[in-house]
């Protein structure tokens, strides 16, 4: 029985799916595995990402075109939309839920907005030399240290990582700059507990690791055999660094250009194993209980998904949910994984313990899938 429209509903089992071709998002219910409705008018969603408000009522959608849209997922209305930059590729929510931040290519920098009103709270141009603004990537929230809401981000053109503490409206943000982190950080992630910030390097082979718990954070080079720059293999799609998985003390990450998933010990940050897979991995996602890692692939293998058992480090299943698998999202207790197949106009809901397909939903060119439990996770 679905509740009537007038009955107050919980938001713990809701989510949004990006419909990249039409500038819409679909609002979904994960308990009933249904589409509740759509919200249109969101512009260019070709590289869109989403964060949620602390109460899980609002989805903030970052569009490629520099727009920040605030969607009420209960009323399914677009409540606000601002063009905050010329070109943008994502954002982050502050730890306390008061601020939403956007990372921008044009002009290069980070803008921080009040999550309630979308008023500008702080403007942080990524000026690394007089008049020169860097493109900003890898923006994440991080746990505060008592000096305001903390964000961490990478400057692609400056080889720097900045840590910004934003005290609030009327007070300037404090910026710690970490220089010479490595050449051209192109994306980054923060570890699930919020301690380690890891930036991928486009201009050299390896990654930059920053321990945010350190009193004087600095960058350390790790995983020089990671792939980029080392091998002459063609790379069909640069994997997103956010497509990393951490399961127990091991991280699983896509080897760039190779048909392998790398296993890394998060104590030593050394590679300890490689797992062969059928193609070039793009997203490598851990089931929330760490028992499995699910992998999708670049062309030409982009219609398949492989499941790795983390205990044996073996591929135990190959699935073909539909053409052009772009994204996967687990429910927080791991009873479901949602998979978007763009060219099949299909979203599949799969039980990751039995591999049964629980539901399929027709959605126009689906890409990113975002469930509301992200509101309670550091770095999401």
**Residues interacting with a second copy, by CB under 8 A?**
1, 8-14, 30-31, 52-58, 72, 74-75, 95-97, 116, 141, 143-146, 193-195, 213, 247-249, 267, 288-291, 311, 331-335, 351, 353-355, 372-373, 375-378
Question: In the complex with a second copy, which residue's Cβ is closer, 70 or 373?
Answer: 373
- Closer CB to a second copy, 256 or 375, in the complex: 375
CB 31 within 8 A of CB 13: yes
Alpha-carbon 27 to chain mean position: 19
Identify the DSSP state of 173.
Answer: P
Nearer to a second copy, 78 or 334 (CB): 334
Nearer of residues 5 and 129 to a second copy, judged by Cβ: 5
Nearer CB in complex with a second copy: 31/106: 31
For residue 7, the surrounding DSSP H or E stretch is: none
Shortest distance, position 365 Cβ to a second copy, whole Å = 28
Residue number, 129 or 333, with CB nearest to a second copy: 333
- For the bound state, the minimum distance from the C-beta of residue 99 to a second copy, rounded and expressed in Å, comes to 12
- Own/partner long-range contacts of 168-177 (Cβ < 8 Å, ≥24 apart): 168/98, 168/121, 169/114, 169/119, 169/121, 172/122, 173/112, 173/122, 173/124, 173/148, 174/147, 174/148, 175/124, 176/217
Q: Which is nearer to a second copy, 194 or 321 (CB)?
A: 194
Q: Which residue has the tokens 């309630």?
A: 116
Assigned token pair, 76: 């399914």
Provide the minimum distance between the beta carbon of 6 and a second copy in the complex, in angstroms, as a whole number: 10
User: Position of tokens 């943000």?
Assistant: 173
Considering the complex, what minimum distance in angstroms separates the CB of residue 11 from a second copy? 4
Helix, strand, coil percentages (3-state) for the chain, rounded to 5, are 5, 50, 45
Distance in Å, CB of 345 to a second copy, minimum = 27
Two structure tokens written together for 17: 């799916």
> Based on CB atoms, which residue is closest to a second copy, 43 or 288?
288
Q: How far is the CB of 375 from a second copy (least distance, A)?
A: 5
Question: How far is residue 188's CA from residue 364's CA, in Å, rounded to a whole number?
Answer: 29
CA-based nearest residue to 321, from 351, 291, 293: 351
CB of 83 to a second copy, least distance (A): 25
Unique residue bearing structure tokens 């921008």: 104
Q: Which residues pair with 327 in a beta bridge?
A: 340
Identify the CA nearest to 12 among candidates 60, 55, 69, 50: 55
Task: Measure the CA–CA gap between 31 and 33, rounded to whole angstroms.
Answer: 6
> Please, what is the minimum distance in Å from the beta carbon of residue 19 to a second copy?
23
């Amino acid at each position: 029985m679905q509740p009537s429209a007038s009955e107050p509903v919980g938001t713990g089992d809701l989510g949004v799916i990006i419909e990249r071709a039409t500038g819409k998002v679909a609002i979904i219910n994960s308990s009933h595995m249904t589409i509740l409705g759509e919200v249109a008018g969101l512009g260019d969603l070709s590289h869109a990402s989403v964060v949620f408000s602390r109460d899980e009522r609002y989805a903030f959608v970052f569009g490629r075109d520099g727009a920040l849209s605030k969607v009420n997922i209960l009323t399914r209305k677009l409540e606000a939309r601002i063009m905050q930059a010329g070109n943008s590729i994502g954002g982050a929510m502050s730890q306390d839920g008061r601020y939403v931040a956007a990372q921008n290519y044009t002009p290069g920098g980070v803008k921080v907005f009040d999550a309630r009103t979308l008023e500008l709270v702080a403007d942080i141009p990524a000026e690394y030399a007089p008049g020169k603004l860097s493109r900003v990537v890898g923006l994440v929230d991080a746990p505060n240290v008592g000096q305001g809401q903390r964000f961490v981000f990478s400057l692609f053109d400056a080889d720097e990582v900045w840590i910004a503490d934003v005290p609030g409206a009327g007070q300037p943000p404090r910026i710690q700059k970490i220089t010479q982190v490595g050449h051209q950080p192109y994306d980054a992630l923060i570890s699930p507990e919020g301690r380690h910030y890891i930036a991928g390097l486009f201009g050299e082979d390896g990654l930059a690791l920053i321990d945010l718990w350190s009193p004087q954070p600095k960058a350390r080079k790790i995983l020089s055999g990671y792939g980029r720059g080392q091998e002459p293999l063609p790379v069909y799609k640069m994997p997103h660094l956010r497509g990393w998985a951490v399961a127990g003390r091991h991280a699983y990450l896509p080897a760039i250009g190779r048909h392998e998933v790398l296993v890394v010990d998060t104590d030593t940050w050394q590679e300890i194993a490689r797992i062969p897979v059928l193609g070039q991995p793009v997203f490598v996602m851990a089931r929330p209980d760490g028992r499995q890692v699910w992998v999708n692939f670049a062309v030409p293998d982009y219609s398949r998904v492989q499941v790795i058992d983390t205990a044996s480090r073996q591929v135990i299943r190959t699935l073909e949910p539909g053409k052009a698998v772009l994204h996967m999202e687990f429910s927080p207790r791991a009873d479901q994984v949602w998979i978007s197949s763009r060219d099949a106009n299909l979203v599949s809901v799969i039980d990751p313990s039995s591999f049964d397909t629980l539901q399929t939903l027709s959605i126009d060119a689906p890409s990113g899938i975002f469930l509301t439990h992200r509101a309670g996770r550091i770095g999401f």
